[in-house]
Chains A and B, each alone.
Chain A
């Protein structure tokens, strides 16, 4: 039996690339607190790290979660030191934490 076609809202539009410039080096995570389905953990907001690698472009989960047309966003793995995240409470300051952050949450910081 033929299935109905996948609705447009489910399409990931994987053939489209984003025109956003690519980021590298030191970045800061935006300190904003928007409502809704957000994949940036609160404990990383406002923190500065270094891009470990670029992962490519993925449909924005903040739109996908609500069935909205989702534009592609560049996704990065950003590496933070425990010192940056927890300050004096860090267990071992030089240990690190990597997380995936979308580019609309990142701003460049001078190295």
Chain B
């Protein structure tokens, strides 16, 4: 018999996943304590905290994709984006708060990739929460030393004559990669173009999709 405990099987015939009943970590307990104290002292309300969580959850790579697609179709906007990516994002109506954003441009001879070796800095206010692998020790320690090997694992093989520029977000700035516009997109409108821009292509671990 594949599963011994027939009374513990789900209707699909597989065992139930065990409950995630682990104790809180030190930092989780501290976060709850500080949050409850802030509410108790009237610094913030529980509703304001919930609203901020909702606002962060509502952000997604689609926001960044729209910025990239605009840069692909509007040279003046692209120039503004490369000069001040925060201002350009705000100009498109994105509420990015205090985010200080730098856009780095991929070309035929340069490929950019972003990391935060010290923690998990990421342009959350434009792209939403980072993927789990972005925060992993493996990605953070390896991409600064062997970026080509890491990119290969993501399915991106770059020729030796393309220079890789790794960007370590060590302090106050955050980074977004402006990928190269794929060939064969001349007839697409901005919406169709944005659908080609993946999250990973804005981190630099991927390339945009090609139109089908």
Contact = CB atoms under 8 A, between A and B. Distances in A.
B43 A97 contact: no
Interface string B148-183: 110000000000100111111111110000000000
Contacts of B172: 55, 58, 61, 75, 100
A61 B166 contact: no
A89 B145 contact: yes
Contacts of A85: 144-145
Contact of B170 (A40, A82, A89, A95): A40
A100 B102 CA distance: 12
Interface string B30-43: 00000000000011
A3 to B, nearest CB: 7
A94 interface: yes
Q: How many B residues touch the partner, as a band? A: 20 to 34
A89 B149 CA distance: 13
Nearest to B44: A3
A91 B144 CA distance: 10
Interface in B38-69: 42-43
B146 interface: yes
A17 interface: no
A4 B42 CA distance: 9
B89 to A, nearest CB: 17
Interface in A22-58: 39-41, 43, 55, 58
B87 to A, nearest CB: 14
Contacts of A82: 145
B171 A100 contact: yes
B83 to A, nearest CB: 11
Contact of B147 (A61, A95, A100): A95
Interface residues of A, number: 28
B117 A39 contact: no
Interface in A69-87: 75, 77, 79, 82, 85-86
Contacts of B167: 97-99
A12 B168 CA distance: 24
B118 interface: yes
A106 interface: no
Contacts of A3: 42-43
A33 B208 CA distance: 41
Contact of B171 (A43, A75, A79, A86): A75
Interface of A: 1, 3-4, 39-41, 43, 55, 58, 61, 75, 77, 79, 82, 85-86, 89, 91-92, 94-102
Interface of B: 42-43, 117-118, 144-149, 160, 163-173
Given A85-B144, A95-B148, A95-B163, 8 more contacts: A39-B170, A85-B145, A86-B145, A95-B164, A96-B165, A98-B167, A99-B168, A100-B173
14 contacts: A39-B118, A39-B171, A55-B172, A61-B171, A75-B171, A86-B145, A91-B146, A92-B148, A95-B147, A96-B164, A96-B165, A97-B165, A97-B166, A98-B166
